[in-house]
Amino acid sequence: MKVFLDAHKVPFTEENLKELCQSPRDEFGVEHINLFYNKETGLCFCLLSAPNKEMVEDHHSKVGIKCEWIVEITMATPLNRQVSMPIS
């Protein structure tokens, strides 16, 4: 799977975002690796594992979210070494 980072306004609560991080891979093949959220601006950055950019778009469109941008990334630390950082 490829890894993508996207940015968008978020209509969800922090509790919803925490739940999303624990969700299994969806019907588009998208799985959350982590979410980064700024409460004051309502901006969310999603770090996702997905087959392609179009599936990331479909994943967000399903819940009415339009990403400002989506970019495929390469992670400096492999996924199996990632430390989960809780949203606080």
**Range of lowest pLDDT (10-14, 35-39, 54-58, 59-63):** 10-14
Average pLDDT of 24-44?
93
Q: Which domains are seen in the chain, by residue range?
A: 2-76 (3.30.70.3090)
pTM: 0.83
Higher pLDDT, 77 or 61: 61
Please give the C-alpha separations between residue 66 and each of 9, 10, 70, 78, in angstroms, as whole numbers: 8, 10, 10, 28
- What is the separation, in whole angstroms, between the first and last Cα of the chain? 28
